[in-house]
Structure 1
Amino acid sequence: MLLTKYTHACVRLEDRDRRLLVDPGVWTEPAAWEGVADVLVTHEHADHFDVDHIATLLADRSLRIWGPASLAEGVAPSVAAAIQGVAPGDTFTAAGFGVTAVGGAHAETYDGLPGCDNVGFLIDGVYHPGDSYFVPDGPVEALLVPASGPWVKMAESVDFTRAVAPARAFPIHDEMSSARGNENFDGWLHRSGRTAYERIPRGASVTI
């Protein structure tokens, strides 16, 4: 399986002719969408869910979108019709990949906010937590660990990585940091994450 990292929290998983896109937000490159029909969205925020671009795509092609049922609230009817609501514990198949939904809530930024639904996805051994530090049961081959954002604290990202105990870890949710900030985060995860950690350059891929 090939994992390609796009801007911020978006990744694409590929295996031969199967392609699955996760969290395509407003900063996601058009190239990420090539050959994609199935999409996973962890939560409603624009850096993970580009509603306008999805509505444009739906005018010319079919998409199947899995995410919290709340994604369908207040969006265009064409987008709402493409969404299949999932809850923690649900298992399903998307683009031929086995998926389990976990977690349920967005990490707190401050004073109980944002207080929205967030489902992480376990995808054939790859764990995309969205905006959450939820630790799932069972082994994880590759963890996508959040690296920046108003709700992210580096120490909590290290603790999260240790708790999940993946074979490998790669940073996501990193568009809000400078290059020097990312280097600092990487240094801590290398030293303290207790896993094989590496940063995937934007647009590059690794084999899982």
Structure 2
Amino acid sequence: MRISSHGQACVRIEAGGRILVIDPGVFSEAGALDGVDEVLVTHEHPDHLDLAKLLAARAANPALRVHLPAAAAAQAGELGEALAVVVPGERVTAAGFTVDVVGGLHAEIYQGLPGCANVGYLLEERLYHPGDSFFVPEQPVETALVPAAGPWFKLAEALDFLRAIGPARAFPIHDAALNELGRDYFDGWVEEFGGTSYTRLKGGESADV
């Protein structure tokens, strides 16, 4: 599998001509969905779900499928039959990849808010995207995508998340709110205390996992 970063929480996974995109939101690069076969969405927030981008992708590929929690599907009704609702504990196939759906809730920001659903996706029992959470799956994880910023974010929790999972490698996501200094700051802490091989993929850069 080859993974590339496309802004905020959006990543693109390619293997054998198959293309799967996770969390194409309003801060994602316009070309993230080019040629996409299927899409995974962790939750309903616009930095993870940009309906306009998904409608354009479906116009280009009428066979497009978008897997997402029920609350997110309710906000994307214009996609019609392209929608496929997922629930934690389910195993689905997307663009030929085996995907375990895990987690269930968005990390708390304040006083129980936002209180919405959030699922994580574990691809091929190897690559894990947690969305807006630090949920630790039961399954082993080879490659973890670790959130780097957000109103719900705490650095200590990100480090504990990585150490609990113990992946061979990690890449940051959810960092659109950080300037260069903030990214360097986060990277330094993960490199020192994350307990894993850590690499930052800049927009469009890719790596084999």
Same fold by TM-score greater than 0.5? yes
Residues in 2 aligned to 1:205 and 1:151: alpha-carbon distance in whole angstroms: 27
**What's the counterpart of residue 153 of structure 2?**
152
Residues in 1 aligned to 2:75 and 2:122: alpha-carbon distance in whole angstroms: 27
1:163 aligns with 2:169: no
Residues in 1 aligned to 2:163 and 2:113: alpha-carbon distance in whole angstroms: 26
Residues in 2 aligned to 1:83 and 1:178: alpha-carbon distance in whole angstroms: 35
Letter of the aligned partner of 1:142 in structure 2? T
Unaligned runs of 5+ in 1: none
Letter of the aligned partner of 1:61 in structure 2? N
**What's the counterpart of residue 141 of structure 1?**
142
**What's the counterpart of residue 108 of structure 1?**
108
**What's the counterpart of residue 47 of structure 1?**
47
- Matches for 1:23-38 after TM superposition, within 5 Å: 23-38=23-38
CA contact (8 A) 1:101 1:119 kept: yes
**What's the counterpart of residue 59 of structure 1?**
59
**What's the counterpart of residue 96 of structure 2?**
96
Q: Once superposed, what is the RMSD of the aligned Cα atoms?
A: 1.1
**What's the counterpart of residue 11 of structure 1?**
11
Residues in 1 aligned to 2:88 and 2:77: alpha-carbon distance in whole angstroms: 25
Q: Per-residue CA shift, 1:108-156, capped at 9, x if unaligned?
A: 0011001100010001210000001100012111000000010111111
Letter of the aligned partner of 2:97 in structure 1? F
Structure 1 window deviating more from structure 2 (86-95 vs 27-36): it is 27-36
Segments ≥4 residues shifted beyond 4 Å = none
Residues in 2 aligned to 1:93 and 1:75: alpha-carbon distance in whole angstroms: 21
**What's the counterpart of residue 75 of structure 1?**
76
Letter of the aligned partner of 1:150 in structure 2? P
Identical residues among aligned pairs (%): 50
**What's the counterpart of residue 186 of structure 1?**
187
CA contact (8 A) 1:5 1:203 kept: yes
Shift of 1:200: 0.9
CA contact (8 A) 1:2 1:15 kept: yes
Residues in 1 aligned to 2:150 and 2:23: alpha-carbon distance in whole angstroms: 15
1:123 aligns with 2:128: no
Q: Per-residue CA shift, 1:54-78, capped at 9, x if unaligned?
A: 223333432101110112214343x
Q: How many matched pairs?
A: 207
Aligned residue for 1:3, secondary structure, equals strand
The normalised TM-score by structure 2 is 0.96
CA contact (8 A) 2:147 2:172 kept: yes
